[in-house]
């Protein structure tokens, strides 16, 4: 079966291509290379001994996308990652985010609904819950007003797909709300490639440990948590990648009448920033240079997933530990320095 992966050379996309190829799917990748590199294709080939078909297309290029679908009528499913994801940049330039994340999604759907039958997995985020009133966060928790245009594109993206599924009976979709994806493939052939200064915790930790950054700033130790630092649900990117394959298989086997479903993808375990630092030190044997600074605007105190729905309905559960994810992130960082 042929599966289209948009943004398939990005962080989560590339690991998902590996998971798909490992299960025997034929993969076609579309990527505009705005935040990724062709070298990722080589990494995927090294791991799976197979190179996916690659097309450099920007989803906003309506005619390029139309031509792509004319030549790929045999696609059975789409996993849609291609999007911009920097929260700060989205505040500076909201229209860029609405265009990249929502215009592009609309054009993709316009093409999908012309096919005989279509299945789509959407890359969403736990950011849609904001600071949830109850922990762990279940899929029934209300979607709160987004804190950034980026977060808003995830909420509106889900609505666009839900509305399209309601009127187009040929389309079925699952939205996966990711918690905090970290780590890398254990082979260190692929991993996260942050542009410039990393905004996320784990790439900042590994770049500090390798002396690319002087020290890590821990944003706030006066939150109402056990050690005062924020709590998140860090999930190994390969666990997340495998969740996409399982969700796709649910769509392909169509066991339910619901044409649009939402699942949280997390481990169900919350870890504080200081716990992540300790776990990194244990996993790597390195001492991390860090200092406590003030809170970062827009951070929620705590977020971790209720994984019951994904466990029971998808039959998926995260298998890898936080230490394993940090070890793999560290191996990836060291390998890149040598390269």
For the CB of residue 30, give the shortest distance to ligand UD1 in the complex, in Å. 22
List 97, 107, 129, 150, catalytic entry: 150
Please, which residues have CB within 8 angstroms of residue 243's CB and are 6 or more apart in sequence?
Answer: 176, 263, 265, 310, 314, 316
- Site for ligand UD1 contains 21 (CB under 6 A): no
E strands in 192-323 = 216-219, 231-232, 234-236, 260-265, 271-272, 290-293
| Beta pairing partners, 261 | 174
For the CB of residue 171, give the shortest distance to ligand UD1 in the complex, in Å. 25
Return the residues of window 299-338 that contact ligand UD1 according to CB under 6 A.
Answer: 299
x/- site string to ligand UD1, residues 250 to 289, per CB under 6 A?
A: -----------------------x----------------
- Residues 154/128, Cβ–Cβ less than 8 Å: yes
Among 142, 285, 294, 298, binds ligand UD1 (CB under 6 A): 298
Return the residues of window 130-169 that contact ligand UD1 according to CB under 6 A.
Answer: 151
Among 204, 260, 280, 304, binds ligand UD1 (CB under 6 A): 204
For the CB of residue 198, give the shortest distance to ligand UD1 in the complex, in Å. 7
- Smaller CB separation from ligand UD1, 200 or 321: 200
Q: How far apart are CA 123 and CA 150, in angstroms?
A: 12
What one-character-per-residue DSSP string does 200-222 give? SHHHHHHHHHTTSSS-EEEE-S-
- Site for ligand UD1 contains 106 (CB under 6 A): no
DSSP, collapsed to helix, strand or coil, labels residue 88 as helix
Please, which residues have CB within 8 angstroms of residue 223's CB and are 6 or more apart in sequence?
Answer: 229, 230, 295, 301, 302
Please, which residues have CB within 8 angstroms of residue 183's CB and are 6 or more apart in sequence?
Answer: 191, 202, 236, 237, 238, 320, 324, 325, 326, 328, 329
- Site for ligand UD1 contains 4 (CB under 6 A): no
- Residue with nearest beta carbon to ligand UD1: 230
Q: How far apart are CA 206 and CA 204, in angstroms?
A: 6
Among 36, 127, 164, 271, binds ligand UD1 (CB under 6 A): 127
For the CB of residue 299, give the shortest distance to ligand UD1 in the complex, in Å. 5
- Residues 246/191, Cβ–Cβ less than 8 Å: no
Q: Which residue carries 């320095």 as its tokens?
A: 337
- Smaller CB separation from ligand UD1, 44 or 126: 126
107 is catalytic: no
Provide the token pair at 303: 């977020």
Among 29, 59, 87, 120, binds ligand UD1 (CB under 6 A): 87
Q: Which residues are at the interface with ligand UD1 (CB under 6 A)?
A: 87, 125, 127, 151, 180, 199-201, 204, 216-219, 230, 232, 273, 296, 298-299
Which residues are annotated as catalytic?
A: 150
């Amino acid at each position: 079966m042929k599966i289209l992966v948009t943004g398939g050379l990005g962080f989560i996309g590339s690991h998902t291509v590996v998971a798909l190829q490992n299960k025997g799917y034929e993969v076609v990748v579309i990527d505009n290379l705005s935040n990724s590199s062709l070298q990722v294709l080589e990494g995927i080939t090294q791991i799976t001994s197979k190179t996916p078909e690659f097309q450099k297309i920007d989803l906003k290029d309506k005619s390029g996308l139309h031509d792509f679908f004319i030549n790929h009528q045999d696609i059975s499913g789409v996993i849609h990652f291609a999007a911009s994801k920097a929260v700060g940049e989205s505040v500076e330039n909201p229209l860029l985010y609405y265009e990249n994340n929502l215009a592009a999604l609309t054009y993709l759907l316009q093409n999908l609904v012309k096919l005989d039958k279509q299945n789509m997995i959407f890359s969403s985020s736990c950011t849609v819950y904001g600071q949830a009133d109850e922990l762990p966060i279940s899929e029934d928790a209300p979607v709160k007003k987004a804190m950034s245009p980026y977060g808003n594109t995830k909420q509106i993206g889900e609505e666009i797909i839900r509305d399209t599924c309601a009127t187009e009976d040929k389309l079925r979709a699952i939205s996966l709300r990711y918690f905090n994806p970290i780590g890398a493939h254990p082979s260190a052939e692929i991993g996260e490639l942050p542009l410039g200064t990393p905004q996320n915790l784990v790439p900042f930790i590994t770049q500090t440990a390798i002396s690319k950054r002087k020290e890590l700033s821990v944003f706030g130790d006066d939150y109402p948590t056990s050690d005062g630092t924020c709590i998140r649900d860090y999930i190994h990117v390969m666990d997340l990648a495998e969740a996409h394959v399982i969700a796709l298989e649910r769509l392909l086997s169509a066991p339910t009448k619901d044409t649009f479903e939402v699942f949280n993808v997390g481990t169900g375990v919350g870890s504080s920033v200081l716990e992540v630092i300790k776990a990194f030190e244990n996993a790597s044997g390195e001492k991390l240079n860090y200092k406590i600074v003030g809170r970062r605007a827009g951070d929620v105190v705590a977020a971790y997933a209720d994984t019951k729905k994904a466990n029971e309905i998808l039959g998926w559960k995260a298998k890898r530990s936080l230490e394993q994810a940090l070890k793999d992130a560290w191996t990836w960082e060291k390998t890149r320095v040598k390269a």
